[in-house]
Each structure stands twice: as structure tokens, then as C-alpha cells.
Amino acid sequence: MKTQKLGKRKLRIFKVAAILLVFLLLFLIEVALRFANYGTDYPLFVEAKSNPDFLVMNPNISKKYFGNEKDATSGYYELFKKEKDSGTTRIFVLGASTAVGYPYQKNVSFHRWLQYALNTTFMEEEVEVINLSLTAINSYTLLDFTKQLVNYSPDAVLIYAGHNEYYGALGIGSANSISRRPWMVNMALNLKKYRLVQLAETGLNSIGNLFDKKAEQRETLMAKMVADRQIKFGSERFQEGVHQFSSNFQRMADILKEQGIPVFISTIFSNEKDLAPFVSDSSNTEESAKHQYDLGVKAYKDANYLEAKKRFVKAKEYDMLRFRAPDTINAIIKELVDTHQNLYLVETAERFENESKNGIIGNDLLLEHVHPNVDGYALLGHTFYTSLVDEELFKTKPSHIFELNGLKSQMPITTVDSLAGYFEIIQLKEGWPFFEKLPAINSDGMSVPEKLGGKLAIGTLNWDGAMSELNQYYQSSGNKEGQLKVSESLALEYPLKEQFHTQAAILALQLGLVDKSKYYFEKAFSLNESIEMAHKIVVTLIEGNTFEATLPYLEYLGEKEPNNKQVSQLSEAINLIIDFRNKSGEIKSEMAVDVARSYLTLGKRGEAAKILKKVLEKDTLNEEAIALYKKIG
């Protein structure tokens, strides 16, 4: 009996030891992998390669959320300081493809409209708008980002998201879904920090890639991400998608509330009128998306717009291919705002309805199911802008408030930017689930901007290259307005590169846009505060007869070069000219001659001659005026 008990005890010890040995082995492998610098901790931000004082969103962060790294998407490369300055307002943007700005590149995105508007509204304040959005992600990624971004001193977080809950990375109906329970998916994401898990995932991906069919490799990401193409309204899978969004956004809201960070969260919109449902339930006429859509089309033709709106919304709700979020998502967003004091509702959906014909959202603002056109992105950006300004988020007073049309007239969106988006979207619509025939395009008859837009869309030319070629085209044709738009666009994309601000300032001055020129010179000087830069700005402003704008730079030069006689002479001459211009009534000949001499100091012989002629008309024997006039020749 004792021998039997001893045997059982030894067996238990052996089993425990075996289990411990397995864990020890796994631990040693983990240590070895880390020692060999294998894998990553997936930080949200990494040090910028171009400047160690700045951070940037980790270019590889999306690999954490996609089962196949080949499907991982990339976001913006926007630098911000490791140590935030006291006068800086820092804003992070969270979302998916609409927040990225798809199908456009760079400056058409709503956050760039917002950045431009804030830059020129709060000129005495540094405003950072850092876009952390990624295509084809959903609330799982956004929650994971939220946990990290709170440590980087945001003054506000902006959110536009909700359409990707079913088919975004790890979504309930996606090809890489791993569980129907949000807590399990979030736990799996937490486990990805372990190198052993990363090694296993890499191995599985490698095996999976061996069996990839060439046809599948040609599929759009939109097609690759979808597993369940028939999610019926109100079904268990449908409710799981809603719960997924609600659960993750609740946690996001709680984290941001705990940190006291203001959150501007937008309602979401989609195409109601001009997009027929993708997949309809043929077993139930009343819940058939196609049936509801057809009723909506008929009501719209009959000018019964309230009925049409109701039917179009029902068609969207019953569409079983869930690329458009159900109305429940907006209801959850509004409920979160009601229960969290730090959340502010941005009523974008309502504003899109107000700006749409007969209050029904369609192709006047959207390109397909959810992505806006250029006017739509302008509207989205302006809606966030007005919300931020209304809540007085900023440290300084606004110099002005942009109306939508005013912002659209100023925003540096080039023709190539718009065309590239057009060409991108017609490629998307050629495939599943749209299957629209490509329009006939005569490449021989295309303009230079059209050719550049096409190259940008198919990836044979990058955005920087497109802007360079567009600038050369405008330069050769003498189109300074076009050149200015390109320079402003580059300055918006590369806010830390002084040369683009300087180019924009010079072109604006040549076009007589004095305020814009002053703004860009101020930006350029803040990036390159030097004697050389100050001299360059002063000379350029004098050439453009913008004398008053030279004063801060001359003051700077006076402090840096107190013994420079040329600087003191220029300062004296410009101050005298400014006084002369501001005087009313009759000007004494003595002062007028001094002003003419000042113009000569600035190299303005024509202006000097005009003043001297007027002096000699009244005082023909004025010796100083005669001598100076002869000197001019």
C-alpha cells in the first residue's frame, strides 16, 4: 500500500516537473529570442530616423493586427516632439480608411484640412495634428492604440470610426477573426508582445503563404478581409459585431476619461441614395435590402423624400454584406457621449445630411459606400474644426474663423491629388463587390496633371515625385498660382522643412498675397532662426515692397549684429518710409528728400525719383532734391 502511494506521489511529482520543464523551456526560448533581438514590443511610437528629438507612429505597428503581414496597412509618417513644448496643442486622430483619407493621398484627408485651418486660425500657437489611422482596422486596434497614446500628452483625441466592425482586422466577420468574445481577442493582442508568439505567428504565415493562389494575390484588400458575406440584420453575428464595438469603445472612453483627455467623437455616415445593396435576403421580402432600395428609388422619383430616406436607410440596414455600419453604431456613440463628460459629439452625419440634396446622402459627397470625395473630406474636416473651436480647446484666441467655402478656397489641394483619388476609386470599383466596368480612358489625350494622377494611382510614381513634376509643369507654363499650391501642399506634408515654407512665401509675395507670404516667412524663420535666414527674408520682402513685414527680422539682426551698419541703415530707412506713408496732409520737402534717400538705400530708384519729382514741382530750386535726382540719372 505504501509502495502504491509512493508510486502515485512520484507520478504527480513527475507530471508537475514535466509541466514546469515545458514552461522553463518556453521561458528560455523567449529569453533567447529577446537576446537575439528577435521580434518587437509593438510600440505605438518610435524615434524618428531623421531627428532623434522627434517621435513618429511605428511604421510596422499594423502587423500586430493582421493575420498575414502582407495585408498589413501603413499610415502617416508625422513627426512630433518627444518633449511637448508648453505652448503646443497636441491632437491625435483615430480611425480607419475614411480617417486616412482613402482613396486620396496626403492632404485630402480630413485631418489635413483641419491642420491647415488650425494653422491659420491660431497663428501664435503650435498645433500638432497626428493621424494614427490605418486602413482596414476597427475598434480592437483603436483600443490598443488608446492604451498607449495617453502617455504622450494629448490635449485632445479625435475619432471617426465604426464602419469596419465586421470586416476590419480581427472583426467578427473578417478573414482573420480569432474569437467572438472581445475579451479573448484583446487578451490575444496582449500575448503578441511575447517573442515566442511572434515566432509561431511568423511560421504559420510562412506556411499559409505557400498555399496562396495567384488569383487571391490579385484580390483587393477589401475582398481579402471578408469571411462572412451574409450577416443578416438582427442575427447573432450581427449583434456580436455591435457588442464588439460597444465593448471596445466603452473601454476606450473609460481610459481617456480617467486621464482627463477631451475626446471629439464623430457620428458616421454612408451612402444611402446612390448605392444599391451588395447582398440582399431573398427569403423575406420585407427584410430584402433590394426591395427596400427599390421602394426608396420610387419614392425619390415621386419627390416623397421623407419616405425615400426611410427606405434607403432600411436598405442599408438590411444589406447583409456589412461594409456600412448599422445605425446602432451612431446610437452607441451618442450614448457614450451622454455618459462621459470628457466626450464631445461631432455631428458629422447630420451635417452631411444637411449638405446633401433633399437631406439624403449620396454621390454628391461620397465616392462609393463610405468614402467621401474632396468636398466630403472638406466638410468632415470643417465639422471637426468648428467643434474644436467652439469648445475653446486652444491656448490662444483665433485670428479668424473659417467658413466652409473660405477654407475650400484656401486649402492647397492640387489637381493631381484629386485625379489620383479618381483613378484609384475606378480601379477599386472594377473588382468585388462593385464589378463596375472601367470607363474608357484615352491616355494620348490626357493632360500632364491627368497623367501624373494616373501614375500616382497605380504606384509607378510616388507623391513627392508627382509634386516635383507638377511644379516643373507649372513653372514652364508660367502658372505661379499652381506653383504656390504645390509649395503650400509640400509645406503641409512636411511642416518641419523650411524650404517649402520659404518657396510658398516667395510665390505668395509675387502674387500679391502679402498676409499669406508673411505667414509662411514666419513659419520658415521659426524652423531656421538664423542671421542668414533673416537676411534672406528681409531682402525678399524689400524686393516685394512689403516693408513693414521686415521689422521683426531687422530687429533680430540688430540684436545679433549690433555693429552691422547696413542693418541699421536699412532699419532707419524702412522706419522713415513707413512714417512717411502713414502721414496725412502736406509733407515738408526736407522729409520728402530724406524719404527719397531712404528708397535709394533700399535700391528703389523708381520710387525715389517719383518723390523727388513731386518735391521739384513745388520747390524747383531745392538743391538737395536736384543733386539726388541727378545721382539717380
Q: What is the pLDDT of residues 74-125, one digit of tens each?
A: 999 999 999 999 999 999 999 999 999 999 999 999 999 999 999 999 998 9
Residue 238 lies in a domain: yes
Q: What is the distance between the terminal CA atoms of the chain, rounded to a whole angstrom?
A: 128
Q: Give the pLDDT of residue 162.
A: 98
Whether residue 187 sits in one domain with residue 130 = yes
Q: Express each pLDDT in 211-247 by its tens digit.
A: 655 445 557 889 999 999 999 999 999 999 999 999 9
Read off the pLDDT band of 207 (50, 70, 90). Answer: low
Q: Give the pLDDT of residue 45.
A: 98
Boundary (domain end) residue, out of 386, 411, 436: 411
Mean pLDDT of 559-579: 94
Answer for the pair 165, 126: CB distance below 8 angstroms, yes or no. Answer: no
Q: Give the pLDDT of residue 620.
A: 87
Whether residue 286 sits in one domain with residue 172 = no
Whether residue 103 sits in one domain with residue 177 = yes
Whether residue 385 sits in one domain with residue 300 = no
The residue that leads in pLDDT, 455 or 624, is 455
Whether residue 250 sits in one domain with residue 367 = yes
Element (H, E) at 18: helix 2-35
Whether residue 330 sits in one domain with residue 307 = no
Cell numbers placing 63: 502587423
Q: Among candidates 244, 235, 78, which has minimal Cα distance to 162? A: 244
Q: Give the pLDDT of residue 548.
A: 95
Cβ neighbours, 10 Å, residue 283 = 8
Q: Express each pLDDT in 181-201 by its tens digit.
A: 999 999 989 998 888 777 777
Q: Give the pLDDT of residue 276.
A: 97
Alpha helices in 325-373 (DSSP H): 327-339, 348-355
Whether residue 131 sits in one domain with residue 232 = yes
Q: Express each pLDDT in 143-154 by its tens digit.
A: 999 999 999 999
Read off the pLDDT band of 68 (50, 70, 90). Answer: confident
pTM (whole model) above 0.75: yes
Read off the pLDDT band of 30 (50, 70, 90). Answer: low
Lowest average pLDDT, out of 353-357, 477-481, 575-579, goes to: 575-579
Q: Which residue is associated with the grid cell 446633401?
A: 356
Mean pLDDT of 567-590: 88
Cell numbers placing 74: 501603413
Mean pLDDT of 507-518: 97
The Cβ-side half-sphere exposure at 123, using a 13 Å CA radius, reads: 12
State which amino acid sits at residue 458: I
Helix (H, G, I), strand (E, B) or coil at 83: coil
Residue 31 lies in a domain: no
Residue 478 lies in a domain: no
Q: Give the pLDDT of residue 215.
A: 44
The residue that leads in pLDDT, 188 or 303, is 303
Task: Output phi, psi for 212, to 5 deg.
Answer: -65, 135
Q: Express each pLDDT in 390-426 by its tens digit.
A: 999 999 999 999 999 999 999 999 999 999 999 999 9
**At residue 3, does pLDDT exceed 70?**
no
Q: Express each pLDDT in 152-165 by its tens digit.
A: 999 999 999 999 99
Query: What percentage of residues in the chain have a pLDDT greater than 70?
Result: 94
Whether residue 364 sits in one domain with residue 264 = yes
For the chain, the domain total comes to: 2
Mean pLDDT of 238-262: 98
**At residue 618, does pLDDT exceed 90?**
no
Q: Express each pLDDT in 463-507 by its tens digit.
A: 999 999 999 999 999 999 999 999 999 999 999 999 999 999 999
Kindly state the greatest CA–CA separation across the chain: 138
Task: Output phi, psi for 76, to 5 deg.
Answer: -80, 155
Whether residue 397 sits in one domain with residue 302 = no
Residue 246 lies in a domain: yes
Q: What is the CATH number of the domain that holds 249?
A: 3.40.50.1110
Answer for the pair 496, 526: CB distance below 8 angstroms, yes or no. Answer: no
Lowest average pLDDT, out of 16-20, 65-69, 180-184, 548-552, goes to: 16-20
Residue 132 lies in a domain: yes
Answer for the pair 416, 467: CB distance below 8 angstroms, yes or no. Answer: yes
Whether residue 105 sits in one domain with residue 254 = yes
Boundary (domain end) residue, out of 354, 386, 411: 411
Q: Give the pLDDT of residue 218.
A: 53
Read off the pLDDT band of 208 (50, 70, 90). Answer: low
Boundary (domain end) residue, out of 411, 430, 457: 411
Answer for the pair 267, 346: CB distance below 8 angstroms, yes or no. Answer: yes
The Cβ-side half-sphere exposure at 37, using a 13 Å CA radius, reads: 0
Mean pLDDT of the chain: 93
Q: Give the pLDDT of residue 211.
A: 61
Q: Give the pLDDT of residue 5.
A: 55
Q: Give the pLDDT of residue 26.
A: 66
Give how far Cα 136 sits from Cα of 90, 124, 161, 241, 567, Å: 25, 37, 11, 15, 57
Residue 376 lies in a domain: yes
Give the C-alpha separation, 532 to 418, whole Å: 38
Residue 113 lies in a domain: yes
Q: Give the pLDDT of residue 198.
A: 77
Answer for the pair 310, 226: CB distance below 8 angstroms, yes or no. Answer: no
Residue 110 lies in a domain: yes
Q: Give the pLDDT of residue 219.
A: 74
Whether residue 304 sits in one domain with residue 173 = no
Whether residue 242 sits in one domain with residue 105 = yes
Read off the pLDDT band of 67 (50, 70, 90). Answer: confident
**At residue 444, does pLDDT exceed 90?**
no
Task: Output phi, psi for 393, to 5 deg.
Answer: -70, -25
Peptide bond into 103 cis (omega under 30): yes
Query: What percentage of residues in the chain have a pLDDT greater than 90?
Result: 79
Q: Express each pLDDT in 263-289 by its tens digit.
A: 999 999 999 999 999 999 988 888 999
User: Where in the sequence is the domain holding 297, given as residue range(s)?
Assistant: 280-318
**At residue 623, does pLDDT exceed 90?**
no
